[in-house]
Amino acid sequence: MSFNKFNLHNKILANVEAQGYTEPTPIQAQSIQPIMDGKDVMGLAQTGTGKTAAFVLPILQRLIREPKRNVRALIIAPTRELTEQTNKVIAQLGQRTGLKGLSIYGGVNIGSQITSLKRGVNIITACPGRLLDHINRGTIDVSQVDILVLDEADHMFDMGFLPDLKKIVAKLPSKRQTLMFSATMPKDIRILADKVLNNPITVKIGHIAPVSSVDHSFYPVGTNRKNDLLRNILENHDIGPVLVFTRTKVRAKRVAQHLDRSGYEATALHGNLTQNNRRKALEGFGRGKYKILVATDVAARGIDVQGVSHVINYDIPDTVDAYTHRIGRTGRASETGDAFTFVTGSDKGPASSIKRILGDRLKHCVLEEFTSRSSSDESQAQKDRYNKQRNNARTGSKNRSNFRSKPKVKHMSRQGDRPS
């Protein structure tokens, strides 16, 4: 199948080609036409399958015929990074169409957002809190919104976002098209989602389970041996850009500092950072300035950093859904990747849920040396190793030799490239 089939405007088609997309991905193949036909759509697809273009292309097609200065499409997403990323896709696929996108989120000066809004914006991608702030101030008029998209919809319906989301939806015209996209859709959330959708078509691509282009391994580890195991893995594997996930912001910061002191180019990404520092961390990782990004789940949803070779769950995620989202950061767009999860004695609950989903695909890697708590002898050995590494780091380059350069992303060439 080719993109020609959708009768997209020439300018949009040229932008699709410029992105190197030769064929629609399965989610695009199945949802673009119904969206262009004006239907409400619930798109369930694994992360990294091309969901963003699946809704951005029909939005551009609809608005290109009547580009006005007012806001006609509203995309709501849970994280600031995701709004920026979606806005970037809108800019790429919407080049030379005259349509303008803007991302809106808190933690940054509202004045510059208001200035941009005054210049005229057609497609807003926003986090709920700041969006509501603008609506209440009268700086964003949503009365002419034709299309509402809820990206990472399962997350948008969780309790933290729900009150704001309800207020925003109440301000929108009731006659509109609503689209929802998500990798996961628990039953109770689906009930809430159905209240916002009008007779939706559900497009489901593959099992809502971790992507199959990723190898999954569990590493049993003593609670205080995680840093040692992490460094051992970094030293002994052919590793490209790595995303390390921790449960808390403090831990993300500490692990990144520990790696940095051990001679690795690492930085942290978590909710305690200013937006500017979050952007710097993410951009630095994307450009290859940092080889390791240690993040909380703020980075797990929707972020498209290409070429991530390994996702390491320093702390196991609480649910299979969270695992799926984290692991979706690697193995994107037909690449392959590795997912390593550290499992301590107290992680039995989430470990067995993940194991049930992965079945035979899950490998168990037992490195005896790291499975028990460290004795004082081990602690000393650990300190010695650490000091040695630190000295090496001081004398030598920080560019660890076992890091391979950023792999190139292969584009999806066939519909069947993703699991079904």
Tell me which residues touch ligand AMP (CB under 6 A): 21, 24-25, 28, 48-53, 304, 306, 332-333, 411-412
Pick 14 or 114: Cβ nearer ligand AMP: 14
Least distance from C-beta 145 to ligand AMP, angstroms? 22
Tokens of 17: 């080609």
Q: Closest approach of Cβ 326 to ligand AMP, in Å?
A: 14
- Cβ burial of 254 (10 Å; 0-12, 13-18, 19+) is middle
For ligand AMP, the closer CB: 317 or 331: 331
341: left (phi over 0), alpha (psi -120 to 50) or beta: beta
DSSP strands (E only) in 38-185: 41-45, 73-76, 101-104, 123-126, 147-151, 177-182
CB of 283 to ligand AMP, least distance (A): 16
Q: Which is nearer to ligand AMP, 80 or 231 (CB)?
A: 80
Minimal distance in Å, beta carbon 383 to ligand AMP? Answer: 42
3-state secondary structure of 288: coil
Residue 317 or 328 with smaller CB distance to ligand AMP: 328
How far apart are alpha carbons 95 and 100 in whole angstroms?
9
3-class secondary structure, 103: strand
Q: CB of 23 within 8 A of CB of 3? A: yes
CB of 20 to ligand AMP, least distance (A): 7
When the beta carbons of 200 and 328 are compared against ligand AMP, the nearer one is: 328
Task: For the CB of residue 52, give the shortest distance to ligand AMP in the complex, in Å.
Answer: 3
Question: Least distance to ligand AMP from the beta carbon of 413, Å?
Answer: 8
Pairing status of strand 201-205 against strand 214-220: unpaired
Measured distance CA(273)–CA(281) in Å, rounded: 10
Nearer to ligand AMP, 17 or 384 (CB): 17
If the CB atoms of residues 19 and 236 are measured against ligand AMP, the closer one turns out to be 19
Identify whether the C-beta of residue 45 lies closer than 8 Å to the C-beta of residue 206: yes
**CB half-sphere exposure, 129, CA atoms < 13 A:** 10
